[in-house]
Structure 1
């Protein structure tokens, strides 16, 4: 690791990092979050980064759009190609967004000895919700308006729901009526 990166990471008190992010970006960064101040980091106005979140932009660009909320314990690593997150997104607690992955081409060599690979940047559109514990891997593309389920693993493209999936007519919202034989009275011994 480069000496300047080590100095920024370990010698800058978190309160100073939080204050610098507020002044430079108008972002609200918890003093309990670990954010690397780097020329590769860009935060939009109104970004909120909660405690225990880790934003590592020393090895690749990270851009987080305006009014995005980064939950507690979230890890975002830019690495080679970077991570680009749109505006008005919410990233649930303990989610991981990593722009790099381990190689596992050969079964005769342990994974940690095969090195790392990065296929491309991670792009997350506007108004995206990423559920708690989800993992977004390198080269993933999440369209604007999409939702990633809690604990899901995303390695490809996530499309936004179509209008027909989100705008249902009133007749579709009514449950089907119960048939008389499917009703059970309370207290009956069946």
Structure 2
């Protein structure tokens, strides 16, 4: 297990970002900024014309990350797919500094350091035609329906229906489209 993590870390460090950019462009037609940090793994699947901005980190070594066509991830975002995976539909856009984290510490036992308890991952599902505003956070287990807008700086941590606008911490439906 430790050897596998070391190899993964070495691959992240020693693979030039231009190689990652070219790989995803040739395989999917995606435009990945050379200033981003994207795992070079079979777990990532991009639809046509996806864009990943500068200073964005995308990690998918534990589980799948699938983004439909015309997905756009702005600058400074962090996306980490746990074993449950992250599935994002087509025509997805998110503003800068959005965090999408598909795993969490198991916290059922007390008096044990969280890193020793383990990690759980239920996965994240984001529908088609979703816009996530700047600074928002999407946590493990969240489901965002189609045609949804998430207002900036919101925390999405549960299931939400199609055709709504979400706002707040935690996010609540403030308008039906």
Both structures adopt the same fold (TM-score exceeding 0.5): yes
Matching residue of 1:160: 162
CA contact (8 A) 2:82 2:123 kept: no
125, 128, 149: which one aligns with 1:126: 128
Q: Write the deviation string for residues 78-132 of structure 1: whole angstroms up to 9, x where unpaired.
A: 11110011111111211111110123334544444433222x2211001001111
135, 138, 153: which one aligns with 1:136: 138
Unaligned residue ranges in structure 1 (runs of 5+): 167-190
Unaligned residue ranges in structure 2 (runs of 5+): 165-174
Cα distance between partner residues in 2 of 1:108 and 1:81: 27
Matching residue of 1:90: 93
27, 30, 53: which one aligns with 2:33: 30
Cα distance between partner residues in 1 of 2:119 and 2:74: 27
Matching residue of 2:153: 151
Q: Write the deviation string for residues 18-44 of structure 1: whole angstroms up to 9, x where unpaired.
A: 111111110000000001111111011
Following TM superposition, the consecutive aligned residue runs of length 4 or more in structure 1 with deviations greater than 4 angstroms are none
Matching residue of 2:21: 18
Cα distance between partner residues in 1 of 2:25 and 2:120: 34
Normalised by the length of structure 1, the TM-score is 0.79
Q: Secondary structure at the match of 2:48?
A: coil
Normalised by the length of structure 2, the TM-score is 0.85
Matching residue of 2:80: 77
Matching residue of 2:54: 51
Cα distance between partner residues in 1 of 2:151 and 2:41: 31
Cα distance between partner residues in 2 of 1:6 and 1:13: 13
Cα distance between partner residues in 2 of 1:6 and 1:34: 12
CA contact (8 A) 2:145 2:163 kept: no
